[in-house]
Structure 1
Amino acid sequence: MKTLTINLPDNLDLEEFEAKMLFAGQLYEKGKVSLGQAADIVGISKRSFIEIMGRFGFSVFNYSVEDLKREIANA
């Protein structure tokens, strides 16, 4: 796994866990990492990540409208 160091302004009130959740959630929503990989970035279980995602405004379902239409048509 790669290591990333980010310098944040001192006046930014952001805990490490929150920063990891925001980063991992964005990567997951953009399809860059799987759900399990996003959970690993944060250092929690996949189940915990799923349960916490909503608090950060992320959805477990990262399907585009086109993907959803295709799934419905194939059902």
Structure 2
Amino acid sequence: MARIVDDIPEDALLAPKVSDATAAAEIRLAAAVKLYELGRLSSGAAARRAGLPRVQFLSKLADYSVDTFCLSDDELKRQTHLA
């Protein structure tokens, strides 16, 4: 497993008044959500990155205003035609 270490100014963590562990979990989730939104990770890979079950990760996307499924117009037409 790879490990990424980042220095975060202490005052950046004081505002929300959360523990270091909670802040780390929130940062992992935010990073996973963004990478999923950019199409760099699948939902399963993003969920693993966030340390959550896939279904729970997908439900968290709404908290970040990220669509659960992103389909182009052509993909949407193809999917609705198959239904």
Q: Name structure 1 gaps, 5 residues minimum.
A: none
Higher relative contact order (CA 8 A, sep 6+): 1
Q: Deviations over 1:18-52 (max 9, x none)?
A: 11111001100111111001000111100110111
Larger radius of gyration: 2
Aligned residues: 71
TM-score of the aligned structures, taking structure 2 as reference length: 0.72
Cα RMSD (Å): 1.7
TM-score of the aligned structures, taking structure 1 as reference length: 0.79
**Segments ≥4 residues shifted beyond 4 Å:** none
Q: 63, 67, 74: which is aligned to 1:70?
A: 74
Identity of aligned residues (%): 23
What letter corresponds to residue 7 of structure 1 in structure 2?
D
Q: Which residue of 2 aligns with 1:58?
A: 66
Q: Name structure 2 gaps, 5 residues minimum.
A: 17-22
